[in-house]
Amino acid sequence: MATIPALRTNMFNVQPPTSLGVFNTTNSQSLSMYPGSLQALAPLFSQSFQQQQSDYKQSVQSFSSSWKELNTAAKSVTSDSFEQKAVTSNNAAVTGTAKKTATNASYSVGVTQLATTQRNTGTSFSGSAYGALSSGSHTFGIKVGSGAEKQLSVNVLATDTNKQTLDKFAGSINAAKLDVTASVQTDKQGKNFLSLESKTTGATQTFSLRDISGGAVAGLGVGNTVQQAADAKYTINGTAYSSASNKVTTDNGNVTFQLNAVTADNKGNLNAATVKVAKDSGAVVKATQNLVDAYNKTLDTMGQGDLTRRGQHLLDRLGNSVSQSNQSALANIGITQDTATGELKLDQTKLSDALRKNPDQVENALSGSGGLSGRLESVSKQAMNTAANQYLQAPQYMDWKTYDSQAQQSNLQMLLGNSMGGLNGAQGLFMDMRI
């Protein structure tokens, strides 16, 4: 009886595919040499790596943006920010702004008249109809303030609708580049009319129109003044002033008031607004909150990344920026740290109280030589000046050793007939067989 040698798996001389071989196989002929299970896995590994690349790109973007936000927030909490001034008013009729060089003061501001523009409105016409003016040339003069009169001409055609006629007159005035703006408006009934208004407020912006030939001013009714140009009239601490604008200044230009409405009532009582100029504590609170939020965001971003050794050092330095600051001083102004997460918390009420009672204490804790903002600005500058890939691990194709182990197992399963019904379907092949 002849004997057939026992068959063993190594006799097939089938080498388990390497991970790079499967991953880099791009054509079906080459890929067909591998077991079907690995042929199916190859595109999955490719997709996985592409997803890793996409996730890494997003991590780099998040890393860069969070550190940039932190740097910007840290720079906004400086000694200079504590010198900013704010204007508060007990009456919306008067609001204002102040430069940091403004003197802390309280003002009584009364408004008896606002500065206004002159506005003329013409007669309303059905825009699609005809006959607002007779056809032919119409010449008129327009004079603004003490300037010379400007003479303009418009030619009206018999085929022009009323809307087209009005557009022609508005266009001629605007093209003349006067201190008057003309426009065609629509009333509640859907009719059109010509509107003229001086470009700026003040009594010197008064304008007038007259017909020279053709009767356009009278025919369109644009000589009708519905609002006179006027100067603002107001008082500051009892002294009367006037201005062509509703934006007025005091304290050598360091304080600007915006006059929004008349403060006098219908009986003539002035009811002046009380306007105060003082350090802008609200801005400091807002800037500090932004700093705390930016710190927490950066801490979270770093915690989610796959950091290099250099990245871990950067994360440690970020935490040290807080731990090496004066913790008790920060706590006194409302900034505390969660011992479990490392995140900062800000008590805005406590910070506002500290700014009112002891602003120097707040300034030293935040922006002094060892202040929180200074430390965070330093570490964020370092992060911004170095490429993000120095701090974040770039994705690799995959863990090749693990993959190769899986490939060996998959190949063995194929040889054992696992994909064709398990061991029962091929056990005759893998036993010693004799005739």
Nearest Cα to 101, choosing from 127, 122, 118, 83? 83
Q: Please tell me what DSSP assigns to residue 431.
A: S
Indicate whether 89 belongs to any domain.
yes
Query: Does residue 422 sit within a domain?
Result: no
Domain shared by 63 and 99, yes or no: no
pLDDT of residue 334: 96
- Pair 391, 312: CB distance under 8 Å: no
Is 336 part of any domain? Answer: yes
Tell me what pLDDT residue 394 has: 80
Residues 124 and 220 in one domain: yes
Distances (CA, A) of 350 to 250, 311, 336, 338, 373: 33, 35, 11, 17, 18
In this prediction, residue 415 carries a pLDDT of: 44
Is 428 within a domain?
Answer: no
Distance of CA 26 to the CA centre of its chain: 45
Q: What is the DSSP string of 84-153?
A: -EEEEESSTTEEEEE-TTPPPEEEEEEEEE--B--EEE---B-TTS--SS-SEEEEEEEEETTSPPEEEE
172 and 256 in a single domain? The answer is: no
Q: Which of 211, 227, 243 is the last residue of a domain?
A: 227
Residue 315 resides in a domain: yes
Residues 306 and 351 in one domain: yes
Q: Supply the pLDDT for residue 409.
A: 52
pTM score over 0.75: no
**More confident of the two residues 95 and 409:** 95
> 269: which 2 tokens?
């009582």
Query: pLDDT digit string (tens) for 321-364?
Result: 888 878 889 999 999 999 899 999 999 999 999 999 999 999 99
Alpha helices, H only, 176-280: 216-220
With the C-alpha atoms ordered 44, 48, 51, 53, is the resulting torsion angle positive or negative? negative
Last residue of a domain, one of 227, 260, 294: 227
217 and 293 in a single domain? The answer is no
| pLDDT higher at 51 or 322 | 322
Over range 282-287, report the average pLDDT: 93
Rg (CA), the chain: 40
Q: Are 139 and 236 in contact (CB under 8 A)?
A: no
Do 341 and 313 lie in one domain? The reply is: yes
User: Which has the closest alpha carbon to 149: 180, 104, 118, 128?
Assistant: 180
Mean pLDDT score, 361-370: 85
Beta bridge partners of 256: 97, 249
CA distance 153 to 237: 51
Please identify which residue in the block is written with the tokens 């523009």: 117
Give the pairing type, strands 344-346 and 335-337.
antiparallel
Percent of the chain with pLDDT over 70: 79
- Compute the distance between CA of residue 121 and CA of residue 223 in angstroms, rounded to an integer: 8
| Distance of alpha carbon 382 from the chain centroid | 25
User: Do 257 and 96 contact (CB within 8 A), yes or no?
Assistant: yes
Task: Kindly tell me if the per-residue pLDDT of 227 is higher than 50.
Answer: yes
Q: pLDDT value at position 427? A: 41
User: If you average pLDDT over every residue of the chain, what do you get?
Assistant: 84
Report how far apart the first and last C-alpha atoms of the chain are (Å, whole number): 6
How far is the C-alpha of 214 from the C-alpha of 130, rounded, in Å? Answer: 16
Taking alpha carbons only, the member of 190, 200, 133, 142 closest to residue 167 is 133
pLDDT tier, 268 (very low <50, low <70, confident <90, very high otherwise): confident
For residue 257, the enclosing domain spans 85-115+231-279
Give CA–CA dist 407/278, Å, rounded. Answer: 74
In this structure, is residue 3 part of a structural domain?
no
Q: Is the pLDDT of residue 57 over 50?
A: yes
Residues 128, 59 share a domain: no
Average pLDDT over residues 390-398: 74
Q: What is the pLDDT of residues 296-321, one digit of tens each?
A: 999 999 988 789 999 999 999 999 88
32 domain residue, yes or no: no
β-pairing, 105-113 with 207-213? unpaired
pLDDT at 7 over 50: no
CATH code of residue 200? 2.60.40
Same domain (yes/no): 235, 329: no
**Mean pLDDT for the stretch of residues 7-29:** 43
DSSP 8-state assignment for residue 279:
E
Is residue 405's pLDDT more than 70? no
Q: How many domains does the structure of the chain reveal?
A: 3
Q: What is the pLDDT of residue 422?
A: 42
The tens digit of pLDDT for each residue in 72-88 reads 999 999 888 889 999 99
In-domain check, residue 177: yes
Q: For residue 3, what pLDDT band results from cuts at 50, 70 and 90?
A: very low
pLDDT at 41: 52
301, 363: one domain: yes
C-alpha angle 363-365-367 in degrees, rounded to nearest 5 = 55
Residue among 119, 116, 153 at smallest CA distance from 136:
153
pLDDT exceeds cutoff 80 at 40: no
Average pLDDT over residues 388-409: 62
What are the helix (H) ranges across 213-371? Answer: 216-220, 281-304, 309-323, 327-332, 348-357, 359-367
Residue with tokens 């590994």: 45
Distance CA 285, CA 172 (A): 54
Report residue 431 CA to chain centroid gap: 74
Asked whether residue 238 falls in the same domain as residue 305, the answer is: no
Rounded mean pLDDT of 43-49? 59
Q: What is the pLDDT of residue 209?
A: 97
Residue ending a domain, choose from 261, 279, 297: 279
> Do residue 126 and residue 216 come from a single domain?
yes
The DSSP letter of residue 18 is P
Q: Which residues contact 368 (CB under 8 A, 6 or more apart)?
A: 374
Q: How far is CA 81 from the centre of its chain?
A: 21
- Pick the more confident residue, 260 or 36: 260
Write out pLDDT tens, residues 413-431.
544 444 444 444 334 333 3
Q: What angle do CA 422, 428, 430 make, to 5 degrees?
A: 80
Structure tokens at 261: 């409405």
Per-residue pLDDT reduced to its tens digit, 174-194:
999 999 999 999 999 999 999
pLDDT of residue 19: 43
Residues 236 and 312 in one domain: no
